[in-house]
Amino acid sequence: MPLPQKGRPKEEIFAELERFKARDLDWKAGRVWAYVYNPGDEVREVVHRAYTMFLAENALDPTVFPSLLRLETEVVRTVADLLRGDEDVVGHITTGGTESNLLAVKTARDWARTHRPEVAQPEMVLPITAHGSFHKAAHYLGVRPVVVEVNPHTFQVEPETMRAAVTPNTILLVASAPNWSQGVIDPIPGIAEIAREKGLLFHVDACVGGFYLSFLRRMGYPVPDFDFAVPGVTSISADLHKYGYAAKGASTVLYRNREIRRYQLFACAETTAYTLVNTTVLSSKSGGPMAGAWAVLNYLGEEGFCHIVRTVHEATRRLIQGIHEIPELRVLGEPAMCLFSFTSDQINVFQLADAMARRGWYIQAQPSTPVTPRSLHISVNYGNAHQVDALLADLREAVEEVKRATPIDTENVRAMVAWALGSPDPQEAFRQLMGTVGIEGGELPEELALINEILDLLPDPLADALLIDYFNNLYV
């Protein structure tokens, strides 16, 4: 597709951009239960305006744009205060939870290179419920992930399980507050105790929970300790662009003190160009996300956030209660805030997700693991909280529809998977298999149940390879 010879009129450009959205699900109407965190039109307008005011400013160089240094400093100070850090706590705005977690792992790796030079192959211990960004960090940074199981009833990791996985190569412990999959908080104080005892760094992934849980606590709800009030916690990630309701491209990573944080930074004076000093992964970066985040924190204030959290908490309680009342469904564990998952022993939840998609809802499917059943995930936010009753009504209807539908023949799928696994080139065999169920490069599938079924039965490394293959073909 060559560039148009002449520029096109702006009305045409905006109209076409609008048309590109035709197949997207309607998050503005509150029908998407993940991915978008909507504080409402008025607040979004404030974020939007602040974001565009700083779109062109470049956070690469605070000496040229001191405004961005100020924005970042104030946001980090506010987050440190929410997370009960003292004045020693420092941090940065990053582009998202993945970057925050990646930087926490990089910092731990480089801290260990100085303080534990005897460690040749660094390891981090993390529960199976920890977010995939830690595996990505491990992959990028040459750190070995040592994954431990969680309690199959509470979905929390037990501190003693973490302890048992620590070796002389361990440099970092990781836990979640809460995890994405079941929305439960790991026992942070117990894990922190082990970190202290063994002189390890300990990162708490509060990407989803950092803001929400802090406001819940401030309103008097019982919230287990997960933040800098726990001695032994050395870093925390908390996303501005999730329950901080900022525009995307904004998270924070905070450290107990500057001595640890210094290992995050990178400088390079070795080229013919300007001396490069980067606090985070990116070099050039827009001031937009920072300004959007600063604006939403200041526009809502504690009162505004508490109103949002109270509304969302109440909606979540009603939704969980409503799901409990559908006999075929059950909620997993005891969710700590406004995200949770549910499963079924009677119907195929992957088919249920498709039945809900046909009704215009997006609910995320989660594959099974040795300790968790396949499930559907729901994240409630201020923009979908008003849809709880409508969602429940459709969920009841969709459960009945799936009960009447032809079930997926799991045995047959299992046999196909076994055939492909036994073929001389399993990856090619699976490519063919996926072709027969309608997933081929370049096309987005409409129905996902059968695909999810196959992926769920595959060994994880093969599922990863297939997905990479598929995305490699989907994008140009």
Ligand X SMILES: Cc1ncc(COP(=O)(O)O)c(C=O)c1O
Q: Which residues bind ligand X (CB under 6 A)?
A: 96-98, 101, 131, 133, 176, 179-180, 205, 207-208, 239, 251
- Asked if 80 contacts 254 with a C-beta cutoff of 8 angstroms, the reply is yes
Pick the closer one to ligand X by CB: 158 or 205.
Answer: 205
Q: How far apart are CA 221 and CA 181, in angstroms?
A: 22
Q: Rounded to 5 degrees, what are φ and ψ at 275?
A: -70, 125
Pick the closer one to ligand X by CB: 257 or 364.
Answer: 364
CB of 246 to ligand X, least distance (A): 11
Closest CA to 298 of 116, 5, 78, 470: 78
Pick the closer one to ligand X by CB: 239 or 401.
Answer: 239
CB of 450 to ligand X, least distance (A): 25
CB of 203 to ligand X, least distance (A): 11
- Cβ burial, residue 11 (10 Å; 0-12/13-18/19+): exposed
Pick the closer one to ligand X by CB: 366 or 387.
Answer: 366
CB of 31 to ligand X, least distance (A): 19
Pick the closer one to ligand X by CB: 85 or 244.
Answer: 244
> 377: which strand partners?
341, 364
CB of 289 to ligand X, least distance (A): 11
Pick the closer one to ligand X by CB: 103 or 347.
Answer: 103
CB count, 10 Å around CB of 370? 7
Pick the closer one to ligand X by CB: 281 or 462.
Answer: 281
CB of 179 to ligand X, least distance (A): 6
**Residue keyed to tokens 């996300």:** 289
In the complex, residue closest to ligand X by CB: 97
Pick the closer one to ligand X by CB: 205 or 453.
Answer: 205
Q: Which amino acid is at 58?
A: N
CB of 208 to ligand X, least distance (A): 5
CB of 34 to ligand X, least distance (A): 8
CB of 131 to ligand X, least distance (A): 4
Pick the closer one to ligand X by CB: 132 or 459.
Answer: 132
- DSSP string for residues in 103-162: HHHHHHHHHHHHH-TT-SS-EEEEETTS-HHHHHHHHHHT-EEEEE---TTT-PPPHHHH
- Rg of the chain over all Cα atoms, to the nearest angstrom: 23
- DSSP string for residues in 62-111: TTT-HHHHHHHHHHHHHHHHHTT--TT-EEEEESSHHHHHHHHHHHHHHH
CB of 201 to ligand X, least distance (A): 17
Q: How far apart are CA 247 and CA 214, in angstroms?
A: 20
Burial annotation 30-57 (CB, 10 A radius, 16+ → b, else e): bbbbbebbbbeeebbebbeebbeebeeb
- What lies within 8 Å, CB to CB, of 86 at 6+ separation is 228
Closest CA to 126 of 106, 144, 148, 152: 148
Q: How far apart are CA 405 and CA 86, in angstroms?
A: 57
Distance linking the first and last C-alpha atoms of the chain: 11
Pick the closer one to ligand X by CB: 205 or 401.
Answer: 205
Q: How far apart are CA 382 and CA 312, in angstroms?
A: 6
- What lies within 8 Å, CB to CB, of 82 at 6+ separation is 210, 211, 214, 215, 238
CB of 328 to ligand X, least distance (A): 27
CB of 97 to ligand X, least distance (A): 2
Pick the closer one to ligand X by CB: 251 or 343.
Answer: 251
Pick the closer one to ligand X by CB: 100 or 452.
Answer: 100
